[in-house]
Structure 1
Amino acid sequence: MLGFKPFLGNSTAIPRKPSPDLLCLLMKKLSKDDFETWCVMVWMIWKERIFVVHGKPGREPLVLLEDIKGWLSKFKRLYSPELPKVCSRLHMGWPLPSPGSLKLNVDAAVDTFSRLIGIGAIIRDGIGAVVATLFTGNMGHFGAFFAECMVVREGLKFSWEEGHNVNLVKCDSLNVIKAIHSRCSLGIKSSIINDIVVNFS
């Protein structure tokens, strides 16, 4: 873990904003944890500098350090990996729905660089024949959980618009499945979970 003290000797003596070349160099030289620490630290010191420039009193270095640690902890919790997937596609294959039923399979992909969420959905019947497919994308800087919530909702919406009443939905995210069954989520995701419950009821 990177140390904080060399950066906090004087909270008003802040260097200019890091150049893209410096960021690329640090990404190559530092570990993932150290680079995340550095980014949060620079962001918080820059924010502190803005307060000082606009006449607000600067905080003591140790107080700022605790704030940095708190934000870093929140960042790591927010972007921590989700729970492992429930099953392996390679070993489990694709189980068919019961005869006369329709099954909706959905999957999401998150591109953090382009801030694009890829949404894919496929509806199959009881013999495995493809009934309808969907592939689209949405712009947004969101994590895997939000993307998986969105892909379930968009898949159900697509099924309804195409006139297909699906009986089973397959999603890879255990956290999303738990949230749907408990009807419990936080913030903007709660409205998406509610949409899923309404569309699938």
Structure 2
Amino acid sequence: MAEFKKFPIFALSGIDKLIWHYGSNDVYSVKSGYFLAMEDGVETSVGCSSGMSRYFRKLWHLNVQSKIKEVWENSAVWPILSSFKGKYYFDLWQWVILSGNADDLGCFAMIFWSIWLARNQLFHLGTKLQPIDVVSRASFLWTQFLSCQRVDAPKIMISTPLFWQTPPAGTIKINVDAAVVNGSSRVGLGVVVRDDQGVVLIAFTKTLEGYFSVHLAELLTVREGLLLASQQSWNHVIIETDASNVAKSITGSLCLVEDESIVSFIHQLSSRFSSFRVQLCRRNANGVAHILAADGLTLSVDFLYKNCLSFKD
């Protein structure tokens, strides 16, 4: 052993140090360790059983921004989450993976990221966001990301029928309207859904508490109609409104700061349908939705009607 120690290790003098030759700067990082594990085929899991690893692999390979990889009733994934019966966090992820599509998973992850950002704002800045603001930000960021990826996104078209007309075969038409009184903290929303035979499938009156502009209230009514369409799994949808600025906002010909988040959310919802367009109509072609919206100003509870053949414009 004494003779072995006399053997020169290196010709030049210097201090020995540990290096990580798998990284570009000889310093270990989690990123370089992760890539090494992937190259060697090491099974990775985040504190869970090996049976869950296939779900995490799917999550980590989502085509979303990297930060996202790290309220719900107002989100576009609520139709999926509302039927979840499990108790645990991992069960929830597994449910979304099995029940949703790539857009659902991306939206789900984006909302988690937005919640984390809201937590940081509250903790570091003392700024508290409302749940709708958290969801709206997630929706806006997700829509922005998708718009950069989808060069073939369907266009939304506007037509202007003078009177109410039945939609094309297999298509659902949703008429919407909102009622706002200056100085009042109550807003009425009216939505009526008809099939290609003109039969009213669903109609409802909804009351919101708060101060909203007419324009924003109309957009919120569009959102309610599209949430309903998504929950019912309708594929071909027409939104009909008598508010020209609402149609312009949805189609992008009018851009207002106040409606940026809600319009992005509407675009996200509309991407779920095989076909979607907005139609601008005259007030007399939107009479039922107008009456339902006005009822929302005086009613103390929301009303839902189904298969109401007597509702005609």
Compute the TM-score of the two structures, normalised by the length of structure 2.
0.33
From 167, 177, 192, the equivalent of 2:247 is 177
From 199, 205, 224, the equivalent of 1:154 is 224
| Residue identity in the other structure for 1:189 | D
- 2:259 maps to 1:192: no
CA distance in 2 between partners of 1:119 and 1:152 (Å): 9
| Residue identity in the other structure for 2:228 | F
Whether the 8 Å CA contact 1:183–1:193 is kept in 2: the answer is: no
Whether the 8 Å CA contact 1:101–1:166 is kept in 2: the answer is: yes
Please report how far the alpha carbon of residue 184 of structure 1 lies from its aligned counterpart in structure 2 after TM superposition: 5.4
- 2:217 maps to 1:144: no
- 2:217 maps to 1:128: no
- 2:179 maps to 1:109: yes
CA distance in 2 between partners of 1:188 and 1:111 (Å): 19
Is there any run of 5+ residues in structure 1 with no aligned partner, and where? Answer: 1-85
CA distance in 2 between partners of 1:106 and 1:196 (Å): 14
Whether the 8 Å CA contact 1:97–1:125 is kept in 2: the answer is: yes
Please report how far the alpha carbon of residue 118 of structure 1 lies from its aligned counterpart in structure 2 after TM superposition: 0.7
| Residue identity in the other structure for 1:156 | L
CA distance in 1 between partners of 2:166 and 2:245 (Å): 23
Counterpart in 1 of 2:165? Answer: 95
Compute the TM-score of the two structures, normalised by the length of structure 1.
0.51
Structure 1 segment 9-158 matched on structure 2, within 5 A: 92-158=162-228
| Residue identity in the other structure for 2:197 | I
Identity %: 33
Q: CA RMSD in A?
A: 2.2
| Residue identity in the other structure for 1:164 | W
Q: What do the CA deviations read for 1:20-52 (whole angstroms, capped 9, x no partner)?
A: xxxxxxxxxxxxxxxxxxxxxxxxxxxxxxxxx
Secondary structure of 1:185's aligned partner: coil
From 164, 167, 186, the equivalent of 2:237 is 167
Q: What do the CA deviations read for 1:104-146 (whole angstroms, capped 9, x no partner)?
A: 1111111334321111111111110111122111111122111
Is there any run of 5+ residues in structure 2 with no aligned partner, and where? Answer: 1-158, 272-313
Whether the 8 Å CA contact 1:134–1:158 is kept in 2: the answer is: no
Deviation larger for 109-118 or 121-130: 109-118
